[in-house]
Amino acid sequence: MITGRPEARQGQDHLVLTRTFRAPVEDVWAAITEPERLGRWFGVWSGDPTTGQVQVRWDFEDDVAEETYVIEVCEAPHRLRLHNLADDPGQVWTLDLRLSEQAGRTVLDFAQVMNDALPVTEVGPGWEYYLDRLADSVRTGEVSRVGWDGYLDLAPEYAEAFGASRQ
């Protein structure tokens, strides 16, 4: 069953996924912003974030090596918004992560701006996989062992949830 949903935000279509962690907001923030912790579930970044850009290496993808990401908003430990630099505007991935803590639990609202060039039938299952890896690494404090098998089976549910225009 998918956890992603379509949502319009400021006139743009978004894919939105929510995850809840039994961890303080600072711990989840560290898992998405510190290179070593990010490497446990996604990849690592390098460079100087004070310049407004970092190099991100996707460690669990075969066809993506390293990309430059522009940091649009960084309000520790509650919000991170960034996008990759791409020659093709249809391949720009704008990600908006918002964290809130309630009663010792942290809620992550993860949103990606969608466009017609980004097939939600691939993007949705991909973020389900990565966010499950994030949850696993926060829970265990180790490199996630969540594997990719089965996530593409979510594609038909994403096609239905987002309508024919996103297939």
DSSP 3-65: --EEEEETTEEEEEEEEEESS-HHHHHHHHHSHHHHTTTTEEEES-GGGTEEEEEETT-SS--
Q: What is the 3-state secondary structure (H, E, C) of 109-149?
A: EEEEECCCCCCHHHHHHHHHHHHHHHHHHHHHCCCCCCCCC
Residue environment code for 89-118, b if the CB has 16+ CB neighbours within 10 A, otherwise e: eeebbbbbbbbebeeeebebebbbbbeeeb
Domain ranges, ordered by start, for the chain? 5-166
What is the per-residue pLDDT for 62? 76
What is the phi-psi region of residue 48: left when phi exceeds 0, alpha when psi lies from -120 to 50, beta otherwise? beta
Q: Mention the CATH class of domain 5-166.
A: alpha beta
Residue 166 confidence (pLDDT): 41
Specify the pLDDT at position 164.
56
Could you state, in chain order, the average pLDDT of each consecutive group of 10 residues for the chain (167 residues)?
96 97 97 97 95 93 85 98 94 97 94 95 97 98 97 96 67
Return the pLDDT at 167.
44
CB atoms within 10 A of CB 8: 8
Q: Other CB atoms closer than 10 Å to residue 17's CB: what's the count?
A: 19
Q: What is the pLDDT of residue 104?
A: 86
User: pTM of the entire structure?
Assistant: 0.94
**Cis geometry, peptide bond prior to residue 77 (ω within 30 degrees of 0):** yes
Interior angle at CA 166, CA 13 and CA 121, nearest 5: 110
